[in-house]
Amino acid sequence: MDASHVEQDLVNVLFTEAQIRERLAEMAAQIEEDYEGHDLVIVGILRGAVMVMADLARAFGRHVEMDWMAVSSYGSGTKSSGVVRILKDLDSDISGRHVLVVDEIIDTGLTLSWLTANLSSRNPASVEIATLLRKPEALQMPVDVKYVGWDIPNEFVVGYGLDYRERYRNLRDIATLAPHVYS
């Protein structure tokens, strides 16, 4: 979906599809360099990270194994509740393996902090985080993020996998959602 189809719902476009893909390619190159000589399992956080995970994986010039988890801490609201539930766990054993958690956005840090602790308890060789977006002003829990696409203001954003009540995920750009939509 193009931003012009929902422009009345958006305040402004922060990043275009082209900018996002370019940044993900840069991140993939850095990740490949950092994990040279090591097998890597990239773990996408459903559902929001689907677009980021797909484009990041396609940007790699090497094999990567992909797995998925689904966790919930939002319900239907716009802010994290801080209570994390695993809705879908990994299909593969990560013991002794290098794991890169891929998410579309980090705002409070509560979910990712909990998730990295959970994954670390499974005896992987390493657990790191890659995210397309991070909201430093919204952080409530320190999270060590190795790869960040962009830091953004503490505004409600949609598109490229980010949703509001399951809408706008298929927006090709990332944009600030107008308050009249969620107020």
The beta strands (E) that lie in the chain are given as: 10-15, 40-46, 65-72, 85-88, 98-106, 126-134, 147-151, 157-158, 174-177
**H helices within 35-173, ranges in order?**
50-59, 110-120
Active-site pick, 9, 55, 103, 107: 107
Is the peptide bond between 47 and the residue preceding it cis, with omega within 30 degrees of 0?
yes
User: Catalytic site residue 107?
Assistant: yes
Q: What is the phi/psi pair of residue 149, to 5°? A: -65, -60
Residues belonging to the active site: 107
